[in-house]
Structure 1
């Protein structure tokens, strides 16, 4: 649940599409059987309200966030070009990232990211601007990664 919330608000991201899909589909599907099982197992409504409340609040939150919008978020951002790298920390980069959004093409962003591992990273800023980095030690490398595989 916490990975879902961090990812939906673009704070913590992963490049593992399968893991992200499992988390998103699990969040969409799992609360419904949990509510049914909870009410079927405990016929008394006064029994642990918290156990009944968590799946109900999750369903309400999912309806508020729009399930179709959640399904479109299952795609991961792929690095096309590493534009800048911080001289002090090799894990701190500015990248051009793209995401496949189906029939609508590709979404693009210039993101300032900090990698924890090869597959997990924090998004520090989604709108890269040269003026944000005046006075810091950055090295321009413009390395083409092409994770999507565009020609």
Structure 2
């Protein structure tokens, strides 16, 4: 049981860190919610089980240190901010597409942030699949995309469903 929780925790932790730093994102809100709720819940039972399983304190300290550091980091980040950050970025408009690589695009994206409205960004993204993508740049500058490789399409997607 301890091994299953440990493996699950490390997978959730790695996906959480990739999402926080905008390296690997998903459009599946349910998956993102599982990752964010998992990172809030899993460190405490894992830490308790690590101490119960290894009464000898000379056992690998790293097994106990990672959940402790995770709990400290979550307290620093504020769990409420983490819970309010569960919404995913949704594509409103595909502005440019790379003619050589159809998965490489420049998109206008929005994210629902509750009562504060919507967060907006222009991002250069590379889709690994339909639902998983990498953000290459959030600083869209049209001068960087002049040339023969990029084609302006301005295709309206409207994943949020705004009128």
TM-score of the pair, normalised by structure 1: 0.93
- Unaligned runs of at least 5 residues, structure 2: 1-12
**Which range moves more in the overlay, 3-12 or 47-56?**
47-56
Are 2:149 and 1:141 equivalent residues in the alignment?
A: no
Q: Which of residues 118, 130, 133 in structure 2 aligns to 1:121?
A: 133
From 6, 9, 14, give the equivalent of 2:26. Answer: 14
2:46 corresponding residue in structure 1: 34
How many correspondences in the alignment? 151
The structure 1 residue matched to 2:37, chosen from 25, 30, 54, is: 25
For structure 1, the 5+ residue unaligned runs are: none
Check if 1:130 corresponds to 2:142: yes
Which is further off, 88-97 or 52-61? Answer: 52-61
**Shift of the alpha carbon at 1:12?**
1.1
1:64 aligns with 2:76: yes
Question: C-alpha separation between the residues in 2 aligned to 1:3 and 1:77?
Answer: 16
- TM value normalised by structure 2: 0.87
Structure with greater helix share of residues: 2
CA RMSD of aligned residues (A): 1.4
Distance 1:81 1:147 in 2: 9
1:20-60 CA-partner distances (Å, limit 9, x unpaired): 11011101111011112222333332333222112111111
